[in-house]
Amino acid sequence: MPLDPQAQALLEQMREAGQPPFEHMTVQEARQAAWAFVDLQGPPQPVAAVSHRFIPGPTADLPVRIYTPEGDGPFPVIVYLHGSGWVILNIEICDPTMRALANSTGCVVVAVNYQKAPEHKFPVPFNDAWASTCWVAEHADELNIDAGRIAVGGDSAGGNLAAAVCLKAREEGGPALAYQLLIYPATDRDLDKPSALANAEGYMLQRESMRWFWGHYLDGATDEPDWRACPLRAEDLSGLPPALVVTAEFDPLRDDGKRYADRLREAGVPVKYSNYDGMIHGFYWMNGVLDQGKRLHDEIATEVRAALSP
């Protein structure tokens, strides 16, 4: 399929504004540029309640933002780990999408501000994601959630963390996770896959952008990162929770998601794989300007509601 006209127009606007690719920025410049995602998400929706907490992590207290939809509960819950290349975003930037996610799914959404690289390299973001998931399960009554209906989700680097958390929960025998939501996840640092080569330049996230992000996240001396960094390298994907895996056609990470979905299916895990033709990486955060982003929000709502129904 050709590049979606709305995505094409957005990319042209970014080029006209002189927006360089991430790999040509400093970390601080990239973090500042990430605030542009706020305006692409559409206006923030009201939700029944939003609370801000600090929860204990392995090396620091972690900010979380808890979104509660209308209703009496106990609610299903999504522990959400935002994208960022493990480097740039935060829960404030992601606020409009988290509000929409809570309203559309009927879930409490716990958005986790895990610590970022390069100040906090692997495995710190993974350890924060794992600790946050355990905290949610342990505080189910306090949060008015159903401990039997816990999902873990994330996009891009957050999808990487969500997939790894599900593997860790299986290895540890809990917490019991009911679902995983993986939106264009980074599942391996291999940058020679066909989608990375075919979509190497021109679609916002570039092949060299991913090299920049992986370089900040992993120690440069780490030649064979384990499944906590690259879930696709796990030897066995059986026994994991059902999954929705989403990819975009013009995304260097498309094969990361497709290969992970294929391996989940081969391991007997129920999985729905959705590839969005004409789309670019990051379109989940662009539902205010991209119709396909709105369609993805609707698909997520449908699939999560079905998976986490009482």
Which residues is 75 bridged to in the sheet?
145
Above 90 in pLDDT, residue 3?
Answer: yes
Above 60 in pLDDT, residue 155?
Answer: yes
Above 90 in pLDDT, residue 114?
Answer: yes
Could you count the other beta carbons within 10 Å of the beta carbon of residue 91? 18
**Predicted local confidence at residue 78, as pLDDT:** 99
CB 282 within 8 A of CB 254: no
Backbone angles phi, psi at 213, to 5 degrees: -65, -50
Nearest residue to 215 (alpha-carbon basis) of 123, 82, 117? 117
Nearest residue to 169 (alpha-carbon basis) of 231, 253, 122? 231
**Predicted local confidence at residue 222, as pLDDT:** 57
Mean pLDDT of the chain: 96
HSE value, Cβ hemisphere, 13 Å, CA-based, for 209 = 26
Residue pLDDT, tens place only, 46-103: 999 999 999 999 999 999 999 999 999 999 999 999 999 999 999 999 999 999 999 9
Mean pLDDT of 117-138: 97
Q: Is 242 exposed, middle or buried (0-12, 13-18, 19+ CB in 10 A)?
A: middle
**Predicted local confidence at residue 220, as pLDDT:** 65
Edge-first strand order for the sheet with 49-56 is 49-56, 61-68, 108-112, 75-81, 145-155, 179-183, 243-250, 271-280
CB 210 within 8 A of CB 196: yes
Cα–Cα distance measured from residue 159 to residue 110, given in angstroms and rounded to the nearest whole number? 15
Chain mean position to CA 232: 16
**Predicted local confidence at residue 223, as pLDDT:** 55
What residues are labeled active site?
156, 251, 281
**Predicted local confidence at residue 192, as pLDDT:** 96
Above 80 in pLDDT, residue 21?
Answer: yes
Above 80 in pLDDT, residue 224?
Answer: no
Q: What angle do CA 162, 244, 33 make, to 5 degrees?
A: 55
Per DSSP, 139 falls in state T
**Predicted local confidence at residue 310, as pLDDT:** 87
Mean pLDDT of 154-169: 98
Mean pLDDT of 224-236: 91
Residue pLDDT, tens place only, 177-219: 999 999 999 999 999 999 999 999 999 999 999 999 999 999 7
Prior bond of 74 cis (ω within 30°): yes
**Single-letter residue type at 250:** F
**Predicted local confidence at residue 1, as pLDDT:** 82
Tokens of 264: 């989940």
Q: Which residues contact 291 (CB under 8 A, 6 or more apart)?
A: 6
**Predicted local confidence at residue 219, as pLDDT:** 74
pTM to 2 decimal places: 0.98
Nearest residue to 15 (alpha-carbon basis) of 157, 202, 188, 168? 202
Prior bond of 118 cis (ω within 30°): yes
Cα–Cα distance measured from residue 221 to residue 267, given in angstroms and rounded to the nearest whole number? 31
Choose the weakest-confidence range: 39-48, 162-171, 213-222: 213-222
Residue pLDDT, tens place only, 239-278: 999 999 999 999 999 999 999 999 999 999 999 999 999 9
